[in-house]
């Protein structure tokens, strides 16, 4: 499995069932790391139902049309706050293949273009993968009471950064439409 074996695109409201199914497929350790503790299936269903909307931007990694990883960006505070947070979930067989890095790169671009200057990544103190990812993107790490917060400062948006996001979104949409058409035309 390599990052090139899939596609990253923004999730749309119609992707809520795919996001729910992805979260439900997470193994207990990945669930614990994503949500900072044990969570029930009903919690995950509710989270997926309310997560996709105007208050967040979620990018997903799709392999063979199935959502296998996600990065969820939310502002902290008011609608135009300069601070946000990102949370990741990648299914166990897809971890350590560059998917988290690719998701974070796309999330940083989205944060930048929305005026989010300070992006926080919180994780448990024993979540070494997340800390390694944060360090890769030059996050300033703070350790407190069994948790770690990484803060990345994003550059100001530019016309070129806006175009990069538009091109990435257009590519993601085209791939999703092509994939859906291909699946409909496959013999049963």
Q: Give the model's pLDDT for residue 39.
A: 93
Q: Give the model's pLDDT for residue 79.
A: 73
Which regions of the chain are under pLDDT 50? 1
- Taken in order of first residue, the domains within the chain and their CATH numbers are 3-185 (3.40.630.30)
Estimate the crossing angle of helix 159-185 against helix 99-113, to 10 degrees: 130
Q: Is 1 exposed, middle or buried (0-12, 13-18, 19+ CB in 10 A)?
A: middle
Q: Give the model's pLDDT for residue 4.
A: 62
pLDDT single digits (tens) 2-13: 556 889 999 999
Q: Give the model's pLDDT for residue 85.
A: 92
End-to-end C-alpha distance for the chain, whole angstroms: 26
Token duo for residue 93:
């067989």
Q: Give the model's pLDDT for residue 170.
A: 92
Q: Give the model's pLDDT for residue 1.
A: 46
Q: What is the DSSP string of the chain?
A: --GGGSEEEE--GGGHHHHHHHHHHS-HHHHHHHHTS---HHHHHHHHHHHSSTTEEEEEEEETTEEEEEEEEEESSSTT-SEEEEEEEE-GGGTTSSHHHHHHHHHHHHHHHTT--EEEEEEETT-HHHHHHHHHTT-EEEEETTEEEEEEEPPPP-HHHHHHHHHHHHHHHHHHHHHHHHHHHS--
Cross-strand bridge partners of residue 104: none
Q: What number of residues does the chain have?
A: 188
């Amino acid at each position: 499995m390599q990052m090139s074996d899939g596609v990253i695109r923004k999730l749309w409201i119609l992707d809520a069932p795919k996001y729910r199914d992805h979260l439900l497929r997470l193994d207990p350790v990945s669930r614990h790391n994503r949500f900072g503790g044990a969570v029930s299936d009903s919690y995950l269903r509710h989270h997926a139902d309310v997560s996709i909307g105007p208050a967040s931007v979620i990018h997903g990694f799709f392999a063979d049309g199935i959502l296998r990883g996600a990065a969820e960006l939310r502002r902290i505070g008011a609608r135009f706050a300069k601070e946000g947070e990102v949370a990741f979930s990648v299914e166990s067989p897809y971890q350590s293949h560059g998917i988290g890095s690719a998701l974070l790169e796309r999330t940083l671009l989205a944060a930048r273009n929305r005026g989010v200057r300070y992006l926080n990544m919180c994780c448990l103190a024993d979540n070494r993968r997340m800390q390694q990812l944060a360090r890769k993107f030059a996050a300033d790490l703070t350790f407190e009471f069994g948790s770690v917060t990484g803060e990345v400062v994003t550059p100001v948006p530019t016309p070129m950064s806006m175009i990069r996001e538009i091109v990435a979104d257009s590519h993601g949409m085209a791939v999703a439409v092509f994939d859906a058409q291909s699946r409909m035309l496959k013999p049963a």
